C-alpha cells in the first residue's frame, strides 16, 4: 500500500485562519485611506501663515494676515494700495483665533481660564521671509485652547517647554 501525501485538517484550518487575519488587516488599513481626515483648526492656521509668507516672498511686498471673527475667515492681502495682490482666504474650522504679542502682558481670569487681554489685529509678513513677532491662541470646535509660539525670523512654530 502506497502512502499519499496530503494536508491534515489542522494545517488547512491554520492556513485559512492566517489568510483571514491578513485580509482583516488589509481591510482595516484600506478603510483608513478612504476615510476623510478631519480638518483641524491649527492646521488651517499654519496653512494661512505659510501661504501669507509665500505670497510676501513671491510678490516682494508686505502681506497682512487677519482673522475675521464674525465670518470665521483667515485672510491675507497686501499692505500697500498700489497694485494690490488679490486677497485670499481660508475658512477657519475652530471657534476662535487670536493673535497675541510675543510676550505675555495683560491677563485676566475669565470662566476659570486665564485669558490674555492684549490681542493684535493683524500680522505682517515681510518680503525677506520674516514676520511680526507674535503668538496665536487657537480655540477648536470643542473649546480646547492651544497656544502656538511663532519664530519671527522663519514664521515657523517654536518649541516651547511645557509649564512645570
Of 40, 63, 47, 70, the residue nearest 138 (C-alpha): 40
pTM of the model: 0.66
Q: Are 94 and 41 in contact (CB under 8 A)?
A: yes
Strand pairing of 145-149 and 134-139? antiparallel
What pLDDT was estimated at residue 17?
94
What pLDDT was estimated at residue 114?
53
pLDDT in tens, 118-146: 788 899 999 999 999 888 889 888 888 88
Domain spans, the chain? 57-149
pLDDT in tens, 30-82: 777 777 677 888 888 999 999 999 999 999 989 999 998 888 888 888 876 65
User: Regarding predicted confidence, which is higher, 94 or 116?
Assistant: 94
Three-class secondary structure assignment of the chain:
CCCCCCCCHHHHHHHHHHHHHHHHHHHHHHHHHHCCCCCCHHHHHHHHHHHHHHHHHHHCCCEEEEEECCCCEEEEEECCCCCCCCCEEEECCCCEEEEEECCCCCEEEECCEEEECCCECEEEECCCCCECCEEEEEECCCCCEEEEEECCCCCCECCCCCCC
Say what the alpha-carbon torsion angle 23, 26, 27, 28 is, to the nearest 10 degrees.
120
In whole angstroms, what is the distance from residue 103 CA to residue 70 CA?
A: 26
pLDDT in tens, 85-95: 667 888 888 88
Confidence of residue 112 (pLDDT cuts 50, 70, 90): low
User: Regarding predicted confidence, which is higher, 161 or 146?
Assistant: 146
Amino acid at each position: 500500500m502506497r502512502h499519499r501525501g496530503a494536508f491534515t485538517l489542522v494545517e488547512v484550518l491554520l492556513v485559512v485562519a492566517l489568510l483571514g487575519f491578513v485580509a482583516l488587516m488589509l481591510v482595516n488599513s484600506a478603510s483608513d485611506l478612504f476615510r476623510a481626515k478631519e480638518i483641524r483648526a491649527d492646521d488651517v492656521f499654519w496653512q494661512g501663515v505659510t501661504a501669507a509668507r509665500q505670497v510676501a516672498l513671491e510678490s516682494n511686498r508686505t502681506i497682512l494676515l487677519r482673522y475675521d471673527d464674525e465670518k470665521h475667515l483667515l485672510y491675507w492681502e497686501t499692505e500697500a494700495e498700489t497694485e494690490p495682490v488679490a486677497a485670499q482666504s481660508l475658512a477657519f474650522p475652530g471657534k476662535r483665533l487670536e493673535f497675541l504679542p510675543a510676550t505675555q502682558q495683560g491677563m485676566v481670569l475669565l470662566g476659570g481660564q486665564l485669558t490674555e487681554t492684549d490681542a493684535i489685529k493683524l500680522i505682517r509678513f515681510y518680503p525677506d521671509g520674516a514676520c511680526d513677532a507674535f503668538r496665536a491662541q487657537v480655540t477648536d470646535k470643542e473649546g480646547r485652547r492651544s497656544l502656538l509660539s511663532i519664530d519671527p525670523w522663519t514664521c515657523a512654530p517654536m518649541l516651547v517647554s511645557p509649564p512645570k
